[in-house]
A = this chain, B = another copy of it.
Amino acid sequence: MLSGPSGSGKGTVLKELLAKNNNLFLSVSATTRSPREGEVHGKHYYFLSKDEFEARIAGDGMLEYASYCGNYYGTPKDAVYEMLNAGKDVILEIEVQGAMQIKERCPDAVFVFVMPPSMNELKHRLTDRRTEDAETVAKRMQAAVDEIRASYQYDYIVVNDTVSEAANTLDEIIRVQKCSTGHMKEFIDEVLEDE
């Protein structure tokens, strides 16, 4: 589970990570909002009707979901488990509330928060985009503070000082999970049975 405030550079880090790690699968969210120009069903989002989305919720088919500006957004379970069963590592780029829903439901999930090196640097990054006015930047800064307050509940904090280092660290975090005792339980069982 990868979260981080707007301006943390989480998207860029993720892109670099996906380019270097072929075993990763980036989960595609579902939404009831209309596709924007160029958006492809199954690539950018799964575009579902409200009825379809609510049927999935009712059938316990969503790992997490939220309602935002009158539309549903969420993570369909099936694609995630299909990839996990195929031996892939699945990444969800997800906001804090969704991550906290998953924390309750999937104790094995690993939670990584991408942090800006400082609030000052975050402000620079948000301002340098030049696409947002001062008011939007102020709102994003406030949202970032709220998100960073939630970061204490994550497992790892990756400071995005340089993109390539942050992507390397993420890659190492993924590799190291494979020798966590939770992941290795079956191996220990086998070694002991072998005896």
A positions within 8 Å CB-CB of B:
113, 115-116, 118-120, 141, 145, 148-149, 151-159, 169, 172-173, 175-176, 179-181, 184-185, 187-188, 191-192, 194-195
Contact = CB atoms under 8 A, between A and B. Distances in A.
A105 B164 CA distance: 37
A173 B169 contact: no
Given A172-B175, A179-B169, A187 B157 contact: yes
Most buried by B among A120, A169, A188, A194: A188
Give 7 nearest A-B pairs by CB, closest first.
Answer: A157-B184, A119-B195, A176-B176, A119-B194, A156-B179, A172-B172, A172-B176
A191 to B, nearest CB: 6
B155 A191 contact: no
Given A172-B175, A175-B172, A180 B192 contact: no
Nearest to A170: B179
Nearest to A184: B157
Nearest to A151: B188
Contacts of A152: 181, 185, 188
A155 B172 contact: no
A151 B181 contact: yes
Contacts of A173: 176, 179
Given A157-B179, A157-B181, 12 more contacts: A113-B181, A118-B191, A141-B195, A145-B195, A151-B188, A153-B181, A154-B181, A156-B179, A157-B184, A159-B187, A172-B176, A173-B179
Nearest to A177: B176
A121 B184 CA distance: 18
Contacts of A118: 191, 194
